[in-house]
Amino acid sequence: MIYHYNNILKYFQPYTKGVNKIENINFKSGIPLYIQIEDYIRKNIETGELKTGDKIPSEELLCEKFNVSKITVIRALRDLVTEDIIIRKQGKGSFVNQPNYERDLNKFANFFHSWPPIKVEHTVLKWHLIKPSKEILNKMKLSKGSSILEIVRIAFHEGESIALEYIYIPKDISKYFMNKRELFESKYVYGVYKTIPGLFLANSRISIKPVLADKTQVKILGITMGDPLLLWERITLSKDKKVVEFSKFFERGDRGNFYLEYHK
């Protein structure tokens, strides 16, 4: 699509009453010009003038609009890309990016809270008994030759794949989950565990480390080889100190914002 200069105006309509209005940049303010352009675009996104998927006017149009050099505009757009506010597509231009979701890490490990705080749906890829690797046997403190239930699923947020999840459940309690496959399509893991009478969770331990996407994750998550992922490993114990769950979550590092919040 070819954008005429006049069409840029529809992307930068006046803001609603009560919002600071920026009609143009101020060359005498002392604020770097590229930052003013960033703020200009950011405020249009925040107020809904520019929505997810909308195209940002071209570098040439922005140069003409603000009467600045192309280097200044490129700097502003580059910073917005770094902040994941916009996304650049080769040969097509810049577009408003989908906002990242946020997650409270306290609730990730706490089975007394409902996690995740965002709406997530799942598709189960595998549901079968396996002979686990030595690594998994050690993690779950099982003897050689033990069988476990392996559940592999994809997590989706607003229709976009965000994580590849591997969930391992000891065979002796897996029988309680056999008729609960549908719950794993809609609930988080602890939400399913709460449906099992007599199974009391005591504590969990989580480790996090950055990894790079391999062929399997690239194919399933629709990302690029070597993209950053966060590998979450979680071990959950029952009140009698038995491992009742071991999970590995490969979560996209470009889609989530994670935080910790503490109160007095």
Rounded-to-integer distance, Cα 170 and Cα 150, Å: 9
Is 149 within 8 Å of 140 (Cβ atoms)? no
Name the class of domain 5-96. mainly alpha
Count H helices and E strands in the chain, helices first. 9, 11
Quote the pTM value.
0.62
Name the class of domain 101-259. alpha beta
The yes-or-no answer to whether 5-96 and 101-259 have a common fold is: no
Angle, vertex CA 114, rays to CA 110 and CA 117, nearest 5: 105
- At 193-210, the pLDDT tens digits run 888 888 888 888 889 999
- Provide the residue type at 93 as one letter: G
In the structure encoding, which two tokens stand for residue 190, read together?
């602890």
What residue ranges do the domains of the chain occupy?
Answer: 5-96, 101-259
| Residue with the larger pLDDT of the pair 67 and 20 | 67
Most confident of 47-61, 82-96, 231-245: 231-245
Q: What is the pLDDT of residue 179?
A: 85
Please state the rounded mean pLDDT for residues 208-220. 94
